[in-house]
Structure 1
Amino acid sequence: MPSLLRLLLPALPLLACCSKVQLIIDTDLGFDVDDVGAIAVGQHLAGTGKADILAILHNTAFYEGVGGVDVLNSFYGNAGFPLGAYIGAWGSSPAAQGAQNSYTSMIEEAYPSAVQNYDQTPSAVKAYTEALSAAANGTVVIASIGECTNLRDIITAEPDLFFSKVKEIIYMDGGYNFGCGDSSGSGTSPWLGSTEDCDGAAQFVVDAIPPSIKQVFSLNGGDVYTGSRFSDATPCGDGPVKDAYRRYTNDGSRPSWDPIAVYMAVNGYDSLYSSLTPVTVAVDYYGRESYNADTGANQFQVWIDGDHNGDVTREIDNMLCSAPCRGDCSGYEMNSMKNCYGGHGATDLEQPSTSSAGTMDLSECLALCDETDGCEGVAVSQAGSGQVECYRKADIDIAACDSYIPFDTWVRK
């Protein structure tokens, strides 16, 4: 038996790797802050072992857009994958540049990162090609949470590679993402100018995808407002995600189309009180969609049960408020807004009991628990710069813990 175990154990990391969703995010970060939330959700799911982020691409000509992406990746301690930027005119007008910069340059100045703008990163086609080439056939899931410009360009440049590697695409679709901001079919957006290089992109992509690749169309999120926990009244989190939301929403909240699309791309289409409906989708040149009864194709709509919008809000906010993992947090389960301590659902392992084990990254706190006899989990409060105050706990009973927004308790699986 020991010999057999020695033979099997080396294979375990490979099995763990391949069970993760192989995720690419294609974003128009800058136009709306829900793209920030989407990348935060993707990074949280990567840190907790649910996904491998293979690449993040930016799909408008906003010069600083890809820099905003890199700020978020750096904050989460997970930037070791290709970044790429769209090459074209869409979103390059002065009006469009201004419309995309309500928070982006602010977080880039406050949280410097290696990549600040389009001059410092390869094209989206090159980044797509690198990421897809390294992936196994039929494994890649794409969350398309912006315009379809990059998807059009990679399919045009490398159709065989794209069609062999991609398993599913979930589109955050609708009049804006598919229609490039042009609701009239005139070829112009009332506030962004010409949509010429973006027009026709969604139609091309949807029509080009072969039956082997599932296409999921999502309009979820308009009634799910997240980010309100970032306000002073109910503070949570810190860093560029919080700063971007507070700036864009004026300390309010925002519909959550894009975070929901990324969440479902990783956790499945029934994971947010949701379900799939087979459909047949027609998209015209200006991105206008029509849905018909299923004819046996590879297209689906995903819908959330509106009675559970509040539950979905809490789930997304839990991830937005969580400290960045910056390592491997897959051995623990997060219990958001739970503070467990002596007499309130846990036994304190620090001496004295009210003291902290120190200020550190979340993954370091969890590793410290792994090294501590009797430790079942940690309560953490954020300490700035993405780090946490770490409190080791034993005998955890989540049901008996206090509910308190600034704390999360992570329990060993």
Structure 2
Amino acid sequence: MKKSLLLMGLFALLISCKGNMSKSESLAETRKPVNLILDTDLGPDYDDVGAMALLHALADSGQVNILATLSSNLDERVVPGIEVLNTYFNRPDIPVGAPKSEPGVSLTTWHKVKWTDELPAKYPHRTAKTSDAPDALKMYRKILSEQPDNSVVICTIGFFTNLRDLLRSGADEYRELSGKELVARKVKRLVSMAGLFPEGKEFNVYCDVPASKVVVEEWPTEIIFSGFEIGNVVLTGKRLVQMNVENSPVKDTYALCFAEGDPDGRMRWDVTAVFVAIKGYEPYYDVERGTFKVIDEEGTNGWEANPNGRHLRLIEKMPPTEVAALLENYMMHQPSKK
């Protein structure tokens, strides 16, 4: 009898351990790092710098695996600026690339202080100018072909130029698939800082209207849009510029641009998109499903709510001040020692 009770106890213990192991394995599964490609126009505004700081902070905590940091902007200082930030955060080997298609978009900063000149002049980088960088399209096709199916998140915080080129691409040395087929197989979702909701005209859309129209109409996976109105009420930077650190390209950029008059902080359009691409929108935002439309040649966008639509738009949920505090903590992150 004692032997039977002992065997029954051991069996129950094994069942319990197996159950706990399943829960643990399930939890580990949900915590796998996001495989992410960042597509940025780093330059016109400096929120891309904050977005990249947050990206590297989440990479240091194991929440994201940065596959590439690509430029959608032809301006010659963009790729050097991207490399400055990757190098500062001890990831100088992250692949970079830039568009080679015509006509493309080339825009420098509209701030009086040319921080896009200051960063490459002060901090190390490998590529002298954007036009020296590899073709972003080839980088996309190579990297996607190497990843497991349905595993890559793309986050675009710039123009849709590269993504249009990817969709329109044909078979090559990496895969015998069209660009649209490659995206459908390898990409889990696209997260985009684009649009003004429910209707309006937003910078990233109207700078390359033909590319925007192609992507929103033909992209085969789910797209989450972080609209202008989302980041426009999230102000950060005041604590960042007060950090007791030296030789930080992130602090330098904010300090230079804050001097022009952002006393309450700078809007964080791009940072919110990168954050959601990695962390997800819950519990920070609600979403509405529908269809995003580019409705004219000027880049005006519309939105049609539809429970069966392939697009989602973020809707404010957590108070913007709380979101701002959360994001700024990540933006203030200092490089991890390797």
Classify the TM-score, shorter chain: 0.7 to 0.9
- Quick one: distance in 1 between partners of 2:253 and 2:53? 12
- Quick one: distance in 2 between partners of 1:163 and 1:205? 13
2:214 aligned partner: 204
Report the CA distance shift for 1:236/1:206 in structure 2 as closer, same or farther (over 3 A). Answer: farther
Out of 278, 286, 289, the residue aligned to residue 275 of structure 1 is 286
Report the CA distance shift for 1:296/1:261 in structure 2 as closer, same or farther (over 3 A). Answer: same
Contact 1:41/1:316 (<8 A) preserved: yes
Q: Which residue identity is paired with 1:275?
A: D
Residue pairs, 1:45-194, within 5 angstroms: 45-87=58-100, 88-92=102-106, 96-97=107-108, 99=110, 102-157=114-169, 158-174=179-195, 175-180=202-207
- Quick one: distance in 1 between partners of 2:38 and 2:129? 18
Offset, 1:18: 8.5
1:343 aligned partner: none
1:226 aligns to 2:236 (yes or no): yes
Kindly, what percent of the aligned residue pairs are identical? 31
For residues 229-280 of structure 1, give each alpha carbon's deviation from its aligned partner in whole angstroms, at most 9, with x where no partner exists: 133xx33554001111111222743100101100110000114x21111122
Offset, 1:64: 1.2
User: RMSD of the TM alignment (CA)?
Assistant: 2.2
Q: Could you say what secondary structure the match of 1:73 adopts?
A: helix
For residues 90-144 of structure 1, give each alpha carbon's deviation from its aligned partner in whole angstroms, at most 9, with x where no partner exists: 334xxx4464882112011111211231243201101111211111111111111
- Quick one: distance in 1 between partners of 2:321 and 2:245? 20
Tell which deviates more after alignment, 213-222 or 69-78: 213-222
Contact 1:230/1:236 (<8 A) preserved: no
Residue pairs, 1:319-334, within 5 angstroms: 319-325=330-336
For residues 26-64 of structure 1, give each alpha carbon's deviation from its aligned partner in whole angstroms, at most 9, with x where no partner exists: 100000100111111111111100000111110011011
What is the TM-score normalised by the length of structure 2? 0.80
Offset, 1:146: 0.6
Offset, 1:321: 1.1
- Quick one: distance in 2 between partners of 1:258 and 1:85? 19
Q: Which has the higher contact order (CA 8 A, sep 6+)?
A: 2
- Quick one: distance in 1 between partners of 2:92 and 2:204? 26
- Quick one: distance in 2 between partners of 1:300 and 1:35? 22
Out of 266, 272, 276, the residue aligned to residue 278 of structure 2 is 266
Contact 1:68/1:116 (<8 A) preserved: no
Contact 1:280/1:295 (<8 A) preserved: no
2:7 aligned partner: none
Offset, 1:293: 2.1
1:313 aligns to 2:324 (yes or no): yes
Q: Could you say what secondary structure the match of 2:315 adopts?
A: strand
- Quick one: distance in 1 between partners of 2:108 and 2:332? 29
Q: Could you say what secondary structure the match of 1:62 adopts?
A: coil
Q: Could you say what secondary structure the match of 2:277 adopts?
A: helix
1:291 aligned partner: 303
Offset, 1:316: 1.1
Q: Which residue identity is paired with 1:24?
A: I
Offset, 1:25: 0.7
Q: Could you say what secondary structure the match of 1:216 adopts?
A: strand
Offset, 1:79: 2.9
1:191 aligned partner: none
Q: Could you say what secondary structure the match of 1:23 adopts?
A: strand
Q: Which residue identity is paired with 2:187?
A: V
Offset, 1:78: 1.4
Q: Which residue identity is paired with 1:146?
A: G
What is the TM-score normalised by the length of structure 1? 0.66
Offset, 1:202: 0.8
Residue pairs, 1:24-43, within 5 angstroms: 24-43=37-56
- Quick one: distance in 2 between partners of 1:123 and 1:17? 33
- Residue segments in structure 1 that go unaligned for 5+ positions in a row: 1-7, 181-197, 326-360, 364-413
- Residue segments in structure 2 that go unaligned for 5+ positions in a row: 1-20, 170-178, 196-201
Out of 304, 312, 335, the residue aligned to residue 316 of structure 2 is 304
Give the number of aligned pairs. Answer: 289
- Quick one: distance in 2 between partners of 1:243 and 1:162? 37
- Quick one: distance in 1 between partners of 2:29 and 2:309? 32
Residue pairs, 1:332-411, within 5 angstroms: 361=337
Q: Could you say what secondary structure the match of 1:282 adopts?
A: strand
1:248 aligns to 2:248 (yes or no): no
For residues 182-225 of structure 1, give each alpha carbon's deviation from its aligned partner in whole angstroms, at most 9, with x where no partner exists: xxxxxxxxxxxxxxxx2211110011112xx1111111110111
Q: Which residue identity is paired with 1:280?
A: T
Contact 1:30/1:102 (<8 A) preserved: no
2:225 aligned partner: 217
